[in-house]
Amino acid sequence: MASLNKIMLMGNLTKDPEMRVSQGGTTICNFNVAVNDPVKKDAGPLYIRIVTFAKQAESCGRFLKKGSPVFVEGRLQIAKWETEAGQNASRPEVIANFVQFLSSGKKTESDAWDNALGEDEKSAMQKVDDLTDDDCDELPF
């Protein structure tokens, strides 16, 4: 019997991402996304926990913050644990295969990318911006 476990969500982070490192040394980033139901507009948003690993987790922890819009593609799983009171608890979460940072339309997002660039990258980008049409005529291709 064939089966498929794939989920795609688009929404905004409800708070800043939480970063941690597993015992095996893998970086893990958790964050919650608020997703509105386009059909039931009166219903409140759904809050979905997203889990990312390794390089993707590092990027999410570095560039995302509360309110950041994201598109997430992954698979659904049920996280199970025992509470301090000894009761069993569970919640659905998405194990992300792909996280796309979306534009919020605010200038602050481009500032985050500028802050992430080193001085060498900024200098190289400035040199490219300073090129004129005459400079491009001299290029060998």
Asked whether residue 131 is assigned to any structural domain, the reply reads no
pLDDT exceeds 90 at position 33: yes
Beta-carbon count within 10 A of 70 CB: 20
Distances (CA, A) of 52 to 15, 26, 112: 16, 10, 20
Please report the pLDDT score of residue 109 as a whole number: 46
Asked whether residue 114 is assigned to any structural domain, the reply reads no
Q: How many distinct structural domains can be found in the chain?
A: 1
Comparing 136 with 98, the larger pLDDT belongs to: 98
Structural domain range at position 48 = 7-105
pTM exceeds cut of 0.85: no
pLDDT exceeds 50 at position 31: yes
Assign residue 73 the CATH number of its domain.
2.40.50.140
Asked whether residue 84 is assigned to any structural domain, the reply reads yes
pLDDT tens per residue, range 73-125: 999 999 999 999 999 999 999 999 999 999 866 655 455 555 555 565 555 55
Asked whether residue 53 is assigned to any structural domain, the reply reads yes
Asked whether residue 81 is assigned to any structural domain, the reply reads yes
